[in-house]
């Protein structure tokens, strides 16, 4: 019996799996280029203002760079948030990972859970929630409307497949 693989219940096999990530328009290289250009422009302006004797404005150039670096850092940190969704015939699992790496798992019964979507006539899906017996858990909040639409369609199909 030592060499036999464990028996897996076919009901526990995933019917649907997805990993949702926030989209970031700038990659690592683009971020380096942006920050480098901002620093070079700031140094150029700093030199010019120093040459004409307007030294009281110099700290503001440093403050601008610090604020830009802080915004870029916060954006990249927020981009590390993700969600893992898994549907099997006996369970729906939603694992939410914070930017810091903390994980919270929510489990649902696929027969009593529904995907609630909020729609805007111009934008499309603006919010999604998994709902079961009065409990509502947001899902895919960081996705753009097109990705929400795609996810909602695939998730709903998988949920319908499990129920039949």
Which pLDDT score is estimated for 76?
Answer: 87
Residue 105, token pair as written in the block:
């798992």
Query: What predicted TM-score, i.e. pTM, was given to this entire model?
Result: 0.75
Handedness of CA 30, 82, 123, 68 (dihedral sign): negative
Q: CATH top-level class for 11-22+81-163?
A: mainly beta
SS3 content of the chain, % helix, strand, coil (to 5): 45, 30, 30
How many whole angstroms separate alpha carbon 96 and alpha carbon 133? 20
Tens digit of each residue's pLDDT (9 = 90 or more) over 117-136: 999 999 999 999 999 999 99
Listed by start position, the domains of the chain span 11-22+81-163, 28-78
Tens digit of each residue's pLDDT (9 = 90 or more) over 91-120: 999 999 999 889 999 999 999 999 999 999
Tens digit of each residue's pLDDT (9 = 90 or more) over 31-62: 899 999 999 999 999 999 999 998 888 888 88
- Distance from chain centroid for Cα 40: 32
Residue 84, token pair as written in the block:
């893992």
Which pLDDT score is estimated for 8?
Answer: 57
Are 55 and 21 in contact by the 8 Å Cβ rule? The answer is no
């Amino acid at each position: 019996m030592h060499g036999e693989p464990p028996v897996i219940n076919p009901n526990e096999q995933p019917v649907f799996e997805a990993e949702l990530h926030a989209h970031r328009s700038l990659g690592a290289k683009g971020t380096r280029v942006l920050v480098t250009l901002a620093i070079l422009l700031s140094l150029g302006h700093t030199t010019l203002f120093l040459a004409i004797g307007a030294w009281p404005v110099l700290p503001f150039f440093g403050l601008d760079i610090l604020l830009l670096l802080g915004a870029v850092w916060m954006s990249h940190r927020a981009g590390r948030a993700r969600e893992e969704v898994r549907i099997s015939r006996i369970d729906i699992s939603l694992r939410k990972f914070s930017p810091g790496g903390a994980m919270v798992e929510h489990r649902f019964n696929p027969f009593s859970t529904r995907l609630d979507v909020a729609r805007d006539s111009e934008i499309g899906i603006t919010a999604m929630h998994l709902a079961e017996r009065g409990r509502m858990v947001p899902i895919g909040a960081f996705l753009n409307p097109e990705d929400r639409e795609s996810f909602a369609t695939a998730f709903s199909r998988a949920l319908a497949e499990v129920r039949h």
